[in-house]
C-alpha cells in the first residue's frame, strides 16, 4: 500500500517545488485512470490509486479526496461526477474531468465507487504526501500532522529530502518527528533525541512502545525521554487548571462585584441577584432570536441590552420593595428571596422551563494551541478579558465620577454624607441600578460558557456572597482578588475532592478566615465600617 507514497515522492522530487502540474493534454488518459477505479477488486483499486498519484494530472488530488469522501461516482451515462451535496433525492453534481456544473441528478442514476478501510488509509496517506508540496502552508502543516506514525521504508528516504527543502519550522519539526518515529520503530537509539520534549500523543505512544521493547538501550533512552515529557505534561496540566480557574474566577468577579457595591452602600442582602444574572443571559438569547444568523452582532448588542434590562429590573426591585425595608435585613433577605422565585417562575411561564442554548460567534469558537498538550479555548479567554474590562470601567466610575465619589461617601458614613448635601436615596437607586446592570453583564458572559435556564443564577448566588465576604464588603479590588482566588482554588480541589466537597472545603476555609479577619481581605475604611 505504501508504494504509492514512494512513487508520488519520486515524481514530485523530479519537479521543482512550487511548480504547478499542467492538466492532461488528452482526457482519454484521465478517463482510463478513473475507469480503473470502477472495478470490484479492491487490490485493483489500490493499483488505480497508485496510478492516479503517479500521474501528473492536476486534478489527481481532488479525485482522491472525492473518492475518500464517497463523492466520486459514476452516472448511468458513463460520466464520472463529483457529488457536491448528498442530501435529498436529487444531488447537485459536477463533471469530475472538467469541473463543469451538471445540475442535479437523481441518486438512483449514480453508482458510488466503494472503498474499504485499507483503501481509506491509503488515500489519507497519499493526500497527506501530495499536500506536502502545496503552496498553502495550512495544507502542508495538516499533511505533516497526518504523517506522524505513517512513515515506512519506502517513504523514509524521500521524506528526508523533503525536510531539507521545507522552510516552515513547524512543518519541518513535524516531519522530523514522523521520520524519527519510523527510525525508533527500526530500533535506532539516536531517534529518541528527535522526540525528546514532544508532547504529541503519537510521539508518546511510540516512546511507550520502545520503553516496553526488548532492546535495553532503546528502552532506557525511551524511558528517560518519557520522564522528561511527563514533567512537562504536569506543568501544562497545572497551566490548564490555572486557566480554567481564572475563567471561573472571572465569572465570579462579574457575578459578585455588583453585589459588593449594593451591599457596601445599602447593606442589603439581595437574594434576587442571581436572577438578575439570569435576565442578562436571557437577554443574550433573545437578541439571537431577533438577529438570526448573526451571533456576533447579537452578542455585541447584548452587552448594553443585558446591562439595561438588569438595571431596570434592579431599579424596580429597589423602588418597589427594598426602599420600604431599609434597616431591616431579615425582612429584606426574605423579600428578595421571594422576588427571585417570582422571576424564575416568570421566565418559566413566558419563555420555557427548558434550558436554551446561545450560539457563540465564530471569533469565540475554537482554541489557541499553545503546544500539543495545552489549548486555550477562545470563549473563556474572551470572558476573562471582558471581566477585566468591566472591572476597569467600574474602578474608573468609582474614582473619576461624581457618582463614584458619592457612593464612596455614603459607603463610609451615610449620615455624614447626608449632612454634606448628598442625596442618599438617589445614590441608592443609581448604585442598585449599577450593581444590577453588572449582574446582567455577568449573565451575558455566562451565556457563552453554559446553557441558559431559569435556575442559572442560583448556581452563583452563594459563591457571589462568599466572594464579597472574603474580599471585603464594598471593595472592588477585594472582590477581584477574592473572585479569582476562589475560582482557582475550586479548580484545584475539584479533580481530587469532587465538586461538592470542594465547595464545602472552600466554605470552611472562608468561615475560618473571617474568624481571623471579620471584614475580609480589604476591609472598608470610615466610621461606618468601624461601628
User: 478-499 pLDDT, tens per residue?
Assistant: 888 888 988 888 888 887 777 7
Listed residue (525, 325, 328, 527) closest to 416, CA to CA: 527
pLDDT of residue 267: 73
Q: Is 244 helix (H, G, I), strand (E, B) or coil?
A: helix
Instruction: Find the range with the poorest average confidence among 199-213, 304-318, 337-351, 458-472.
Output: 458-472
pLDDT of residue 22: 39
pLDDT of residue 362: 87
In a domain, 454, yes or no: yes
Listed residue (254, 258, 256, 388) closest to 311, CA to CA: 258
pLDDT of residue 26: 55
Domain interval for residue 384: 241-530
Instruction: Examine the pLDDT at 5 and tell me if it is beyond 70.
Output: no
- Local confidence band at 302 (pLDDT 50, 70, 90 cut-offs): very high
Distance set, CA 163 to CA 144, 149, 184, 191 (Å)? 10, 16, 18, 15
The mean pLDDT of 69-79, rounded to a whole number, is: 88
For the chain, the C-alpha Rg in angstroms (whole number) is 32
**Higher confidence at residue 467 or residue 500?**
467
In a domain, 219, yes or no: no
Instruction: Find the range with the poorest average confidence among 41-45, 166-170, 310-314, 325-329.
Output: 325-329
Instruction: Examine the pLDDT at 9 and tell me if it is beyond 70.
Output: no
In a domain, 363, yes or no: yes
Strand partners, 374: 371
pLDDT of residue 297: 92
Instruction: Examine the pLDDT at 82 and tell me if it is beyond 70.
Output: yes
Q: Is 195 helix (H, G, I), strand (E, B) or coil?
A: helix
Instruction: Examine the pLDDT at 193 and tell me if it is beyond 70.
Output: yes
**Higher confidence at residue 262 or residue 67?**
67
pLDDT of residue 525: 58
Residue 332 CA from chain centroid, whole number: 40
The CATH number assigned to the domain holding 458 equals 1.10.3470
In a domain, 519, yes or no: yes
d(CA 9, CA 126): 10
In a domain, 246, yes or no: yes
% the chain with pLDDT above 70: 92
Distance set, CA 483 to CA 260, 349, 412 (Å)? 11, 33, 23
Q: Which three cell numbers stand for residue 300?
A: 455585541
pLDDT of residue 524: 62
pLDDT of residue 305: 94
Instruction: Examine the pLDDT at 530 and tell me if it is beyond 70.
Output: no
% the chain with pLDDT above 90: 21
In a domain, 509, yes or no: yes
d(CA 185, CA 150): 11
Beta-carbon count within 10 A of 78 CB? 9
Beta strands 374-377 and 90-95, pairing class: unpaired
The mean pLDDT of 197-212, rounded to a whole number, is: 89
pLDDT of residue 20: 36
Q: How many separate domains does the chain show?
A: 1
Beta-carbon count within 10 A of 327 CB? 7
- Local confidence band at 16 (pLDDT 50, 70, 90 cut-offs): very low
Residue pLDDT, tens place only, 129-150: 777 777 788 888 888 888 888 7
Strand partners, 93: 83
pTM to 2 decimal places: 0.75
Beta strands 110-112 and 367-371, pairing class: unpaired
Instruction: Find the range with the poorest average confidence among 183-192, 431-440, 505-514.
Output: 505-514
pLDDT of residue 24: 40
pLDDT of residue 406: 80
The mean pLDDT of 291-306, rounded to a whole number, is: 91
Find out whether 210 and 187 touch, Cβ atoms under 8 Å: no
Q: Which three cell numbers stand for residue 428?
A: 441608592
Q: Is 452 helix (H, G, I), strand (E, B) or coil?
A: strand
Listed residue (269, 437, 391) closest to 339, CA to CA: 269
Total residue length of the chain: 531
Q: Tell me the pLDDT of the chain averaged across its residues.
A: 84
DSSP letter string over 348-407? Answer: HHHT-SS-BPPPPPGGGSSEEEEETTEEEEHHHHHHHHHHHHHHHHHHHHHHHSHHHHHH
The mean pLDDT of 219-242, rounded to a whole number, is: 92
Residue pLDDT, tens place only, 388-442: 999 999 889 888 888 878 877 777 777 787 777 788 778 888 888 898 999 999 9
Beta strands 101-106 and 90-95, pairing class: antiparallel
Q: Which three cell numbers stand for residue 38?
A: 470502477
In a domain, 382, yes or no: yes
pLDDT of residue 284: 94
- Local confidence band at 298 (pLDDT 50, 70, 90 cut-offs): very high
Find out whether 93 and 71 touch, Cβ atoms under 8 Å: no
d(CA 334, CA 327): 14
- Local confidence band at 3 (pLDDT 50, 70, 90 cut-offs): low
In a domain, 337, yes or no: yes
Instruction: Examine the pLDDT at 1 and tell me if it is beyond 80.
Output: no
The mean pLDDT of 198-211, rounded to a whole number, is: 90
d(CA 61, CA 104): 24
- Local confidence band at 226 (pLDDT 50, 70, 90 cut-offs): very high
Q: Which three cell numbers stand for residue 272?
A: 434576587
Instruction: Examine the pLDDT at 361 and tell me if it is beyond 80.
Output: yes
Beta-carbon count within 10 A of 401 CB? 11
Crossing angle for the helix pair 476-497 and 458-471, nearest 10 degrees?
A: 120
d(CA 289, CA 209): 53
Instruction: Find the range with the poorest average confidence among 226-235, 259-268, 286-295, 303-312.
Output: 259-268
| 127 burial level (CB within 10 Å; 0-12, 13-18, 19+) | buried
- Local confidence band at 158 (pLDDT 50, 70, 90 cut-offs): confident
Amino acid at each position: 500500500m505504501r508504494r504509492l507514497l514512494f512513487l508520488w515522492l519520486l515524481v514530485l522530487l523530479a519537479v521543482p517545488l512550487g511548480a504547478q502540474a499542467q492538466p492532461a493534454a488528452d482526457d482519454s488518459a484521465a478517463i482510463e485512470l478513473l475507469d480503473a477505479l470502477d472495478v470490484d477488486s479492491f487490490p485493483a483499486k489500490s493499483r488505480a490509486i497508485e496510478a492516479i498519484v503517479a500521474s501528473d494530472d492536476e486534478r489527481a488530488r481532488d479525485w482522491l479526496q472525492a473518492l475518500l469522501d464517497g463523492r466520486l461516482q459514476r452516472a448511468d451515462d458513463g460520466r464520472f461526477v463529483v457529488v457536491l451535496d448528498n442530501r435529498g433525492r436529487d444531488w447537485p453534481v459536477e463533471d469530475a474531468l472538467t469541473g463543469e456544473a451538471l445540475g442535479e441528478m437523481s441518486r438512483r442514476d449514480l453508482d458510488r465507487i466503494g472503498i474499504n478501510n485499507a483503501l481509506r488509509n491509503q488515500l489519507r496517506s497519499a493526500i497527506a504526501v501530495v499536500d506536502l508540496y502545496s503552496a498553502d502552508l495550512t495544507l502542508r502543516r495538516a499533511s505533516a500532522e497526518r504523517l506522524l506514525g505513517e512513515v515506512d521504508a519506502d517513504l523514509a528516504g524521500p521524506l528526508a529530502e523533503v525536510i531539507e527543502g521545507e522552510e516552515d519550522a513547524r512543518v519541518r519539526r513535524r516531519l522530523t518527528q514522523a521520520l524519527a518515529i519510523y527510525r525508533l520503530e527500526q530500533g535506532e537509539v539516536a531517534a529518541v533525541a528527535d522526540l525528546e520534549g514532544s508532547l504529541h500523543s503519537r510521539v508518546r505512544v511510540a516512546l511507550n512502545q520502545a520503553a516496553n521493547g526488548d532492546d535495553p538501550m532503546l528502552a532506557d533512552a525511551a524511558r528517560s525521554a518519557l520522564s522528561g515529557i511527563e514533567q512537562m505534561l504536569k506543568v501544562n496540566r497545572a497551566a490548564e487548571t490555572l486557566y480554567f480557574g481564572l475563567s471561573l474566577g472571572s465569572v465570579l468577579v462579574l457575578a459578585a462585584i455588583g453585589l459588593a457595591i449594593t451591599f457596601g452602600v445599602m447593606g442589603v442582602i439581595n437574594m434576587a441577584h442571581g436572577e438578575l444574572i439570569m435576565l442578562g443571559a436571557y437577554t443574550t438569547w433573545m437578541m439571537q432570536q431577533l438577529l438570526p444568523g448573526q451571533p456576533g452582532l447579537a452578542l455585541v448588542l447584548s452587552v448594553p441590552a443585558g446591562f439595561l434590562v438588569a438595571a431596570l429590573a434592579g431599579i424596580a426591585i429597589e423602588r418597589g420593595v427594598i426602599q420600604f425595608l431599609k434597616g431591616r435585613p431579615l425582612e429584606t433577605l426574605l423579600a428578595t428571596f421571594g422576588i427571585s422565585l417570582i422571576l424564575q417562575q416568570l421566565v418559566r411561564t413566558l419563555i420555557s422551563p427548558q434550558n436554551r442554548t446561545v450560539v457563540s460567534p465564530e471569533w469565540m469558537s475554537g482554541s489557541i494551541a499553545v503546544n500539543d498538550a495545552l489549548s486555550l479555548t477562545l470563549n473563556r479567554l474572551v470572558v476573562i478579558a471582558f471581566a477585566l474590562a468591566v472591572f476597569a470601567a467600574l474602578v474608573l466610575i468609582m474614582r473619576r465620577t461624581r457618582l463614584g465619589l458619592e457612593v464612596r461617601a455614603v459607603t463610609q458614613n451615610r449620615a455624614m454624607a447626608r449632612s454634606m448635601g448628598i442625596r442618599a436615596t438617589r445614590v441608592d437607586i443609581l448604585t442598585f441600578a449599577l450593581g444590577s446592570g453588572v449582574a446582567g453583564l455577568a449573565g451575558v458572559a455566562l451565556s457563552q460558557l453554559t446553557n441558559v435556564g431559569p435556575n442559572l443564577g442560583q448556581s452563583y448566588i452563594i459563591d457571589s456572597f462568599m466572594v464579597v465576604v472574603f474580599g471585603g464588603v464594598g471593595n472592588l479590588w477585594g472582590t477581584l482578588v477574592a473572585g479569582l482566588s476562589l475560582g482557582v482554588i475550586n479548580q484545584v480541589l475539584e479533580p481530587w475532592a469532587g465538586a461538592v466537597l470542594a465547595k464545602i472545603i472552600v466554605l470552611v476555609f472562608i468561615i475560618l478566615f473571617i474568624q481571623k479577619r471579620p471584614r475580609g481581605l480589604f476591609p472598608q475604611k470610615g466610621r461606618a465600617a468601624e461601628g
